[in-house]
DNA sequence: GATTGACCTCAACATTAGTTGAGGTTCTAG
DNA sequence: CTAGAACCTCAACTAATGTTGAGGTCAATC
């Protein structure tokens, strides 16, 4: 076996291949403060190996449905070691879990409404539950959620 | 009460107010073939009243997570009466339900994986379940919804 | 020392779902 | 008839999440 120094930093190609994230996306993450890299004398990126874990965290968070902005905040909130440790991950993943729970609950609620409306066909803007989602997510808690819901119910843009 | 003729077509302002969809969005839907309108002599839009139902259908479909493209296809697939009738709605809502089921299942799967990984902290790109999505959200991501945590106010630096 | 693949930056484009604004017209109430 | 609200079109912009390409440099190999 060739001796491959385990601590050698990763090139962008290596990080890309190992993480499954394209180089252009890695550039993008860097521009947006999600990851960082040292540079060689010739200005090429060299990633510390724990960047792999960082990228893994980003990917998982995206799967949960979080926008990069929030993921960045989460990462920024970590003690300055930055890349999530086991302990960090445990904490953050609990938060992610709550988000997931809410998301699932909202979809299940919608499914219920949908079931109630199949065969009804009213789709009434006034009375159909499906058309009046506001109480739904409001009731489901924290007031934190907001999807593409029609907040326009209250107000239309000023003429 | 003033006598308001029930069959008078709707102006865009009326449709907007009654549907909770902004005029600009209605324009947008029209440009994309989701709704249509007749015009007055002076070129203003007049919507048949069943457009309300059509817009309701669009909104609900969006809540399920479908992109407009798919919603348009569904509408286009209807017998030429176009705006979904009760019967149409029953058929389509069954399809929507399947969509929803899949989305929910995918999220639940993810939640399971997340639970399995809390405290594990590996986030290994090779072995962690979380890092190896089995075709879950990746495929169904067409209309993947994003939920914004409202407290997240920080901005990403300009691209 | 030349080649070649990997890398660099910067700008533009892609997609989805719209919003905003400028500049002009129509409709309706008084 | 006129004022003002509502409407029209068209273009440009927003936001998120990147991708693509042009033009040029670096690094490793023959």
Q: Verify whether the Cβ–Cβ distance A125 to B22 is below 8 Å.
A: no
Chain B residue closest in CA terms to A120: B86
Q: What is the DSSP string of B61-113?
A: HHHHT--HHHHHHHHHTS-TT-S--HHHHHHHHHHHHHHHHHHHHHHHHHHHH
Which single residue is written with the structure tokens 């090779």?
A: B126
Residues 6+ apart with CB under 8 A from B67: B142, B143
> Residues 7-66 of chain A: which lie with beta carbon within 7 Å of strand D?
22, 24-25, 27-28, 40-44, 62
Which single residue is written with the structure tokens 């990080």?
A: A15
Q: How far apart are CA B95 and CA B111, in angstroms?
A: 24
- Using C1' positions and the CA of B69, the closest nucleotide is C16
Distance from CA of B41 to the nearest CA of A (A): 23
Residues of A in contact with B103 (CB under 8 A): 107
> How many Å from the CA of B113 to C1' of C8?
38
Distance from CA of B146 to the nearest CA of A (A): 6
Residues of A in contact with B155 (CB under 8 A): 69
Structure confidence by residue, pLDDT tens digits, B65-105: 899 999 999 998 877 656 667 788 888 888 889 889 988 99
CB A30 within 8 A of CB A58: no
CB A45 within 8 A of CB A13: no
Q: Verify whether the Cβ–Cβ distance B147 to A150 is below 8 Å.
A: no
CB A100 within 8 A of CB A66: no
**Given B24, B63, B121, which is nearest A90 (Cβ)?**
B121
Tens place of pLDDT per residue across chain A (159 aa): 444 456 799 999 999 999 999 999 999 999 999 999 999 999 999 999 999 989 999 998 998 889 999 999 999 888 765 667 778 888 888 888 988 998 899 889 888 888 876 666 666 555 566 665 543 332 222 222 233 323 222 222 222
Distance from CA of B109 to the nearest CA of A (A): 11
């Amino acid at each position: 076996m060739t001796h491959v120094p385990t601590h050698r930093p990763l090139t962008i190609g290596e990080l890309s291949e190992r993480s499954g994230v394209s180089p252009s996306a890695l550039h993008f993450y860097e521009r947006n403060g999600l990851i960082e890299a040292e540079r060689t004398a010739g200005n090429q990126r060299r990633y510390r190996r724990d960047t792999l874990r960082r990228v893994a965290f980003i990917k998982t968070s995206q799967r949960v449905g979080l926008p990069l902005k929030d993921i960045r905040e989460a990462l920024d909130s970590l003690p300055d070691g930055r890349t999530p440790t086991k302990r960090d991950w445990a904490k953050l993943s609990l938060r992610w879990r709550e988000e997931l729970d809410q998301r699932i609950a909202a979809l299940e609620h919608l499914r219920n409404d949908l079931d109630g409306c199949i065969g009804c066909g009213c789709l009434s803007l006034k009375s159909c539950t499906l058309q009046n989602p506001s109480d739904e997510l409001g009731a489901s808690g924290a007031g934190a959620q907001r999807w593409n819901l029609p907040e326009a119910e209250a107000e239309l843009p000023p003429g």
